[in-house]
Structure 1
């Protein structure tokens, strides 16, 4: 097949003060076995050496283009990238992560051979001591003919049956350019802008939409210590709860999507309540327990720790968070 007949992928790469990991991320793009891509690096007002590194790679490989702008946040940077895409497909890539060498080749093969509008592949967290599975993939776990509602479950259902593909992350999908027309990131969101974007995209899809997912890790998400700090986790949980609450307005209360999203919001609320109890705040506990009692979509195991009042619930929450922190302390996070 000639070069002109190979689909072109526009890769949107928002960059802000990530000099320590940027080169490794961009090298993982250069190492892709599928060569027909264009990397759009949006330097979002970096004050470290990220701008210089981006410019260096644009000189090193003509497939990279750099756009420098004043700092406006990751959502604005991605929107700038969307305004500059070309070719047939769009992919979002974060500049501290790594792609498997065959990610684009596998994704483009599956999306074109089945004529789908998007394909989802797996992501895997990695720490300083993680051995990344970068060898050639021979056993891809492909699930075909995923319905529109099943895609929504994959986005927002915590216990969805796949292993690596769960979550509303934009970087685990290759998109046909046409389906992203008039879909933008919310520039007011600093975190969980991905979930909001996925929800907007979902609403724009045809009711008979079909897709697939590859439940094999092809994207490697760097786990940094800043995200493991409890204060940062609380802030992110509040943001996630607010995001999911706001997205509920997009759906009818009797719809399957509303039920899925509302349960995801409840899961976030439970995590927030656990942290509040460990900090001695139980003013909202009665209302929280009332909410749990009103639900028919949660198990007795989930509800039981909160049945006997705030004192028992606090002990349970402290034990849960202590176990979580012990586990986190054993992990070798990146700085």
Structure 2
């Protein structure tokens, strides 16, 4: 019923723990697709030894193309209708597959959402708590079996947010069989999870931390802001907004606008946080000239003020960051 896609790239210190969590699942009936994305260390060798204890698995070896390309390769090779992603430095709770299968069968769901617990190496405890809060689903949306459009509409209009991490979704790939990750960017999950949720007829959100997310220095999650962050959010915003062309339903159109606005805000604030003032101004201009400004009306009043006064916004963020550093 479920295929797990595991991209592998230079994680020789973590891959065995990742695979051990798959081997120890209480329900062993699932498929694992390992995609070695051009690793230059011992990741592949260690993975092959550890994976021998799995019931059903396959390895695909390719030149390095990045996380999006590796996941897309996995999607092209899965055998089951339901798919989930597991990053190779993370691991699953031992009953994750069993819990997810039960939810799919009980609710006849196209999409099941769940939460993550974060843990770190040399990471401040407050940062771990912040990430735990970020990767936990909001209680107001638990146990509702509703359409993806309705789920997103509620999450975004209530300002409770929704988790964009693709690793916290198990989805029926037949809902959007051609959907793929945007290659060559970071924050690629924003576009993918938005569109798979929009395409799902029945969505259920679980009050379960089934995923264990590692925070380590140098990971995508923990690096400082760069132009790659801005570009990733901006390209995702544009791709989401293009879905308006395929929709005449009023609620769906508004939800797409809300999704675009949410992602555009992340692009805008990332541009404001760039260390170089000149780069910040350049990227702010790129965001403002992206053709997505009509979605800004969905921002809160303070956010819209920042849009029209970006210099004030940058100063405000700098003062806030300085205050946070002093408080630590």
- 164, 169, 172: which one pairs with 1:168? 164
With over 3 angstroms needed to count, the CA separation of the structure-2 counterparts of 1:210 and 1:326, relative to structure 1, is farther
- 192, 200, 208: which one pairs with 1:216? 208
- 204, 209, 223: which one pairs with 1:229? 223
In the alignment, which residue of structure 2 is the partner of 1:40? 33
With over 3 angstroms needed to count, the CA separation of the structure-2 counterparts of 1:304 and 1:247, relative to structure 1, is closer
In the alignment, which residue of structure 2 is the partner of 1:197? 192
- 265, 268, 272: which one pairs with 1:267? 265
- Contact 2:92-2:211 at 8 Å conserved across structures: yes
Q: Secondary structure at the match of 1:123?
A: strand
- Contact 2:109-2:145 at 8 Å conserved across structures: no
CA distance in 2, matches of 1:277, 1:83: 39
Give the RMSD, CA atoms, in angstroms. 3.7
In the alignment, which residue of structure 2 is the partner of 1:82? 75
In the alignment, which residue of structure 2 is the partner of 1:20? 13
In the alignment, which residue of structure 1 is the partner of 2:136? none
With over 3 angstroms needed to count, the CA separation of the structure-2 counterparts of 1:320 and 1:113, relative to structure 1, is same
Deviation at 1:30, TM superposition (A): 1.6
- Contact 1:277-1:313 at 8 Å conserved across structures: no
Q: Secondary structure at the match of 1:220?
A: strand
CA distance in 2, matches of 1:192, 1:286: 20
Deviation digits for residues 97-125 of structure 1 (CA, Å, limit 9, x no counterpart): 12122211111101111212221111233
With over 3 angstroms needed to count, the CA separation of the structure-2 counterparts of 1:318 and 1:211, relative to structure 1, is same
In the alignment, which residue of structure 2 is the partner of 1:137? none
With over 3 angstroms needed to count, the CA separation of the structure-2 counterparts of 1:158 and 1:75, relative to structure 1, is farther
CA distance in 1, matches of 2:295, 2:242: 20
Deviation at 1:172, TM superposition (A): 1.1
- Contact 1:117-1:176 at 8 Å conserved across structures: yes
CA distance in 2, matches of 1:204, 1:323: 43
- Contact 1:57-1:64 at 8 Å conserved across structures: no
- Contact 1:9-1:37 at 8 Å conserved across structures: yes
CA distance in 2, matches of 1:325, 1:146: 42
- Contact 1:277-1:317 at 8 Å conserved across structures: no
Deviation at 1:160, TM superposition (A): 4.3
TM-score with structure 2 setting the length: 0.77
**Please, which runs of 5 or more residues in structure 1 have no aligned partner?**
1-7, 134-139, 331-335
Q: Secondary structure at the match of 1:13?
A: strand
Q: Secondary structure at the match of 1:237?
A: helix
With over 3 angstroms needed to count, the CA separation of the structure-2 counterparts of 1:223 and 1:326, relative to structure 1, is farther
TM-score with structure 1 setting the length: 0.75
CA distance in 1, matches of 2:85, 2:113: 12
CA distance in 2, matches of 1:279, 1:11: 42
Deviation at 1:256, TM superposition (A): 0.9
CA distance in 2, matches of 1:198, 1:53: 31
- Contact 1:276-1:282 at 8 Å conserved across structures: no
In the alignment, which residue of structure 1 is the partner of 2:174? 178
- Contact 1:145-1:212 at 8 Å conserved across structures: yes
CA distance in 1, matches of 2:8, 2:94: 21
